[in-house]
Amino acid sequence: MGESERLRRKVDADLGGCCDADVEDRLDELDALAETAGDGEDQRKTFAVLGDATRHRLVRVLDAADGRLCVCELEPLFSVSSSALSHALADLRKAGLVTREKEGNWRYYETTERAERLLTAAEAGE
C-alpha cells in the first residue's frame, strides 16, 4: 500500500470522509511543517562532535570548572597527545561549545551557554 493511500485513509478517518483536496491540504500542511523544522544540520554536527568520548569529557570538565581552564591544566586529565587535545578543543570551538581566549603563550577555554544548556538537557534525561 502506497504512502499516499495511507495518508488518504488517515485523513478520511480524521474527517469522516475526504476528497483529493483534503489530502492535498494535509500534504501542504506537512510540507510547511517540514520546512519549519529545517534539516537540523547544525544540531547533527553538534551531536557528532559530542559523540567522541574525549570531546564529550572535555566539555564536561570545562563545564564543571569554576571559570576557564588553560590547556596545560587540561592535558594531565586526558590520556591523549597534546595535538589530539588541541584538535578536540578546536572541534568543540568550531561547534560553538567552547570559547578560547589567548593570553600571551597561554590558551584558555570555557564552555558556552549552548554547551551548558545541552549538558543540562542531557542530565535531565538520565
- Structure confidence by residue, pLDDT tens digits, 19-64: 888 888 888 888 888 887 777 778 888 889 999 999 999 999 999 9
Number of CB atoms found within 10 A of residue 38's CB: 9
pTM of the predicted model as reported, rounded to 2 decimal places: 0.72
pLDDT at 14 over 90: no
Q: What is the pLDDT of residues 58-102, one digit of tens each?
A: 999 999 998 899 999 999 999 999 999 999 999 999 999 999 999
CATH fold for the domain made of 42-124: Arc Repressor Mutant, subunit A (1.10.10)
Provide the residue ranges of all domains of the chain, joining segments of one domain with +: 3-37, 42-124
DSSP result, 61-98: HHHHSSS-EEHHHHGGG-SS-HHHHHHHHHHHHHTTSE
pLDDT at 113 over 80: yes
| Banded pLDDT at 126 (limits 50, 70, 90) | low
| Banded pLDDT at 7 (limits 50, 70, 90) | confident
Instruction: Name all contacts of 70-79 with Cβ < 8 Å and 24+ positions apart.
Output: 70/106, 70/107, 70/108, 70/109, 71/106, 71/107, 71/108, 71/109, 72/106, 74/109, 78/54
pLDDT at 10 over 80: yes
